[in-house]
Amino acid sequence: MQQPPNSSRRQFLGLAGGAAVLGALPVVTVRPAEATPAMLASAIQSVTGGAAVRTGKVKLDIPPLVENGNTVPMTVSVNHPMAAEDHVRSIHVFNEKNPQPNIANFHLGPHNGRAQVSARIRLADSQKIVAIAKLSDGSFWSASVDVVVTLAACTEEVI
């Protein structure tokens, strides 16, 4: 088989040309559905039942700048004892711009020893991530982080 000369160069130029065309068009981002901070608020409300959520205790570790939204490492830890009479019952993670604002719920108990969970998540846009911890005394604590996403997840076309 004879390869056409400079095939990789041609491919590169083709890609570069395509990118230039894309760049010239106005950027239209298609979102799966309407996603609003109001939905985030109502999702939080469904967990807390309207109880006050205080800031603190919770630490949300997530990169502030995400290059690939398809897999974003996230760790939530709660600075609270895990004693039988006083422990973290659950950790809930939400995102702001998703038709379904829930990311995950983690149910814990005193036997966990340490209130810390990690997971890898998807983000389709730059947005705020909120983690809320529910303690055994019924109080809620939260932390939030703003994340910038350069490559979005979830909306790409399937071939």
Q: Name the site residues for other proteins (rule: CB under 8 A).
A: 32-33, 70-72, 82, 95, 98-100, 102-109, 111-114, 116-123, 153-159
* Closest CB to other proteins among residues 13, 113: 113
Calpha distance 68→35 (Å, rounded):
21
End-to-end CA gap in the chain: 28
Smallest distance, Å, CB 63 to other proteins? 13
* Closest CB to other proteins among residues 10, 107: 107
Amino acid identity of residue 41, one-letter, is A
Smallest distance, Å, CB 99 to other proteins? 7
* Closest CB to other proteins among residues 16, 38: 38
Calpha distance 66→101 (Å, rounded):
19
Smallest distance, Å, CB 64 to other proteins? 18
* Closest CB to other proteins among residues 16, 156: 156
Amino acid identity of residue 43, one-letter, is A
* Closest CB to other proteins among residues 41, 109: 109
Smallest distance, Å, CB 146 to other proteins? 16
Which three-class secondary structure state does DSSP give residue 96?
A: coil
* Residue 21 CB neighbours (<10 A): 9
Please name the residue that has the structure tokens 């609003």: 36
Pairing of strands 140-149, 53-55: parallel
Smallest distance, Å, CB 100 to other proteins? 6
Calpha distance 133→91 (Å, rounded):
4
